Amino acid sequence: MAEAVRPVLRDVPDELVGPRVIVRPYRPGDGQQLWEAVEESREHLLPWLPWGDTHKSPVDSEEFVRKMHARWYLREDMPYSIWSRATGRYLGGTGLHRIDWEVPSFEIGYWLRKSAVGRGYMTEAVRLLVAMAFDTLSANRVHIQVAAGNHKSAAIPPRLGFILESTQKNAKRVTTGELVDMKIFAMTPAEYRQAIE
């Protein structure tokens, strides 16, 4: 029988550095910058991200980053923050979620503050995460779910070599209560190798 998977023992880089972004786990003290990004972007984030309303104050955001730090450390979930290399400004969040360490399989989620959209930051950040998932964590599957109407988010996976695997009809309710279809983009090790060649 194979040895049991012990995620907490998996070594994961503390920072992923790209040409313009740094992707790293949330740290205590990041709450104020997260709060400012959420405040700037509430209408932009809704209806896609239901957690925006849970950030009612900077204290809520600081509590959030500390909980995310703990979950990352335990490898229960792997939330990451995205920062500008040039300015040190907080740009948004991403991460490896709904992890199945037995496969291993990961789902990537992401969001950007409104003023950072359309500059290629998220494509760069997700590319770094995909490389880590396959090269460091030996992923056999990485997937991204995007609401069918969220066109900017849906443009990122194909750009990175993900394949549209399915469209699930009436799969989720957004914060307005409306049912939306979800596009599922997936990548395997073979598709990853093809994308980086």
**Span 83-115, pLDDT tens digits:** 999 999 999 999 999 999 999 999 999 999 999
Report which of residues 51 and 128 the model is more confident about: 128
Note the pLDDT of residue 29.
97
Note the pLDDT of residue 3.
54
Report which of residues 43 and 188 the model is more confident about: 188
Note the pLDDT of residue 53.
72
**Span 160-178, pLDDT tens digits:** 999 999 999 999 888 778 8
Beta-bridged to residue 187, according to DSSP, are 142
Q: The pTM is what? A: 0.93
Fold of 12-196: Aminopeptidase (3.40.630)
Banded model confidence at residue 149, pLDDT cuts 50, 70, 90: confident
Could you give the angle at the alpha carbon of 109 between the alpha carbons of 104 and 111, nearest 5°? 160
Nearby residues of 187 by Cβ (< 8 Å), 6 or more positions away: 130, 141, 142, 143, 160, 161, 162, 163, 195
Residue among 54, 47, 55, 59 nearest 150 (CA): 47
Note the pLDDT of residue 174.
81
Banded model confidence at residue 156, pLDDT cuts 50, 70, 90: very high
Q: What does the domain layout of the chain look like in residue ranges?
A: 12-196
CB 79 within 8 A of CB 92: no
Residue 194 DSSP class: H
